[in-house]
Structure formats: structure tokens, C-alpha cells
Amino acid sequence: MKNTPTDPVPVLQELIRCRSVTPAEGGALTYLENLLSQHGFVCHRLVFREEGTPDVENLFARIGSGAPHLCFAGHTDVVPEGIAEAWTHPPFAAEISNGYVYGRGACDMKGSVAAFAAAAIDFIRGTRKFKGSISFLITGDEEGPAINGTAKVLQWMRENGHVPDHCIVGEPSSAEKLGDTIKIGRRGSLSFTVTVEGKQGHAAYPHKADNPIPKLARFVDRIAAAKLDDGNEHFDPSTLAVTTFDVGNPAGNVIPSRATAKFNIRFSTEHGFASLKGWVEDEVAKITAEMGGAWTVSATEGADAFITEPGRFVGLVQDAVERETGILPKLSTSGGTSDARFVKDYCPVLEFGPVNATIHQTDERMAIEELRATQAIYGRIIADYFSAEL
């Protein structure tokens, strides 16, 4: 007798009803753990903490042993709902209306979690034995500091013999239609704070002061106009955005003693943290030689750029998406950061999930048709993965 397919809709509804605003677990991991345990997954609840940051609950679940090992990585934490009264449907009620499931996290990314869980359960129920393993790495810290979540779970996985061969992160990667985009990498992110010290004085006697503003303005103008690179096969040209220029001076007749600028660089694999820091320091040195000033530069490393080169794994996912949707997905590295930045240090990783049109918005929602189509795609990926020699 053929098994009835698992419906991802009630799974998504149950997850949405768990108020798991970062870092609260809200019952979402407990629900998922119970669901997967019923179908043979061995589950581990992992709580990590670090001084000055909130404790975070995570879940690792695995069925099978040995290779090939396919991991699905994702998160059940969500951003705050904002003004609840502005929602057409309560943000944690998971109400269905006009073919959509409404609720915070519907797209980002409880929908993907529900779809992959349903697909994995159906595969296991329909396959008496399969060679390899399926696992879930689910964190409650993706939308927050990302300190006590995926990065530490991956360390635990390495220490306990659970490093996967390949990983799919269920971020909502599709732009306009389900299946139009797969993320195979991400740009790096590096933020700078640059301060110039001067000498305060009266605006009527500028020769008695040392104005830091022209110095910093010269520097900002140069870096903002700089061409960092031309991009490459998988990345657009790197970008630099100045985000603030501040002197903390409300008076129109006072020359300030300090000026500070902040800027962020989103960079391709043409660069790394060290090379960009060196470039900024060189530009500061040039302005110092021209105009003087006491400069300080601090940098905050966000994420390094990475790419999963197209090959058999990427091709398998592309083929599965095309066969289910009729769309050959574009391979992209656009957008900000995701937890794939941690996974890439352990195994090849890509991101695939539903359309991201309503993520983090009021009335976030996911079409039931799209949810079930996402389940079908994940199901085909799983089936193809365990029948292929990667």
C-alpha cells in the first residue's frame, strides 16, 4: 500500500505558532524534534552559551550512517513581528486565507524547514533501506548574533563524527518565481570605522584650530570613488558604501575636534579581509602625508566571500529544480550573509528555498501551492542524491 504523502501545511502552521523570536526557542525545535524522532531520526538538543550573549537552543537530527551524508541547514528563529495590529492576520496564528499561510517566519524560513522535513519523511517511509544519511542542522540564532548557533553546532558535529558530504541551506533564494535562483556563494562583508583627531576652535579663527573635516572628507571622497575590481564569473564587482559621517557638533561657529566615518565593503573572491584592510590603511597613509592628522582605523570582519564551484552537486540540484518547475535556476552569489558562511568550511554548500518577496515584512506569507512545490523539489533532490554517485 502506497504511503500518503506528508502534508507540509500543518507542519508549517505548527512551526509558525511557536513564537520563536530570536533567541527564544518558543517550542519550534521541540515540535520538530518530536516530528523527526517519530520517523527514526536520532535527535540532539544542543544549547550553547557565551558570556555577554544569550543562551541558544539548537537541534541536530540524523537518520542513517555513513556516506553519502546530505544535511539540511536552517533556522526556526524569526525576527520580531513589528506592529501586530498592522497584520491582516495575527503574526503567530498561522491562519490560511486565499491560498496562503500567513505568519512570521512563513518564508524565512519555517516554510523551507517544513517542506524539507516532509520530503525527508516521505523518502524514508518510501525507502526501506538507503545507503547514507540525512540530517537536519537547525539553529535558533540565525536572525541574531549568530554566535551560539550554526557555527558551534558544526564544531560539535565535527567532534562527534557528523560532518556532512554536502549541505543545502533552506534560505528563501528564489527572487520572482520558485526555482529561479540558487545561491552558490555569498559576498564577503567588512566594516570600517575611521576617525581623524583635530583641534577644536572658533570658526572665525580657523588658523588657530585643526579641522579634521576636510581631511576625512578627502579620504571618503577617494574611497567612495574607487573601483575595487571588475567582478568575476560568479560575482558582481565589489562595492563600498559610506554609511555615516559624523562630527558630533551641533554648533555652526565651532570647528570640531573629531570626525568619524563608517563604511562597509561587500566584496567578491577577488579580495580577502587582509587585502582590504591593507588597501584602506594605504589610503589613510596617503591622506596623512598630504594633509596630516591623527588617524585611527578599526575593522569589523563580517563574513568572508566564498563560492561552491558548479559541479555534480550543484548540477544535481539544478536538474531537480528544472524537472519540477520547468525553470533552469540561475546560479547567484547576491545578497547579504547567511549561515552558509559557516557551513562552507566543512563541506560544499548551496542555498535553495522559496520566493523571498515577503520576508521580514508585515503579512509575511507563503502560498500553499508554493510550499508543496518546494516539498516536491526537495523530495526529488533527496531521491536523486541517494541514487547518484557524487
- What's the chain's length in residues? 390
| Set 77, 141, 364, 370: catalytic member | 77
Partners of residue 63 on adjacent β-strands: 134
- β pairing state of 258-267 and 188-197: antiparallel
**Rg (alpha carbons) of the chain, rounded to whole number:** 24
Residue 142 annotated in active site: yes
- Dist CA 281 CA 64 (whole Å): 51
Question: For 81, which DSSP code?
Answer: -
Contact 257, 212 (CB under 8 A): yes
Among 299, 298, 295, 297, which Cα is nearest to 197's? 295
- Dist CA 15 CA 131 (whole Å): 30
| Set 14, 33, 142, 304: catalytic member | 142
Q: Which grid coordinates are listed for 60?
A: 541536530
Among 354, 311, 333, which Cα is nearest to 180's? 354
Task: Indicate the SS3 state at residue 263.
Answer: strand
**Catalytic positions:** 77, 142
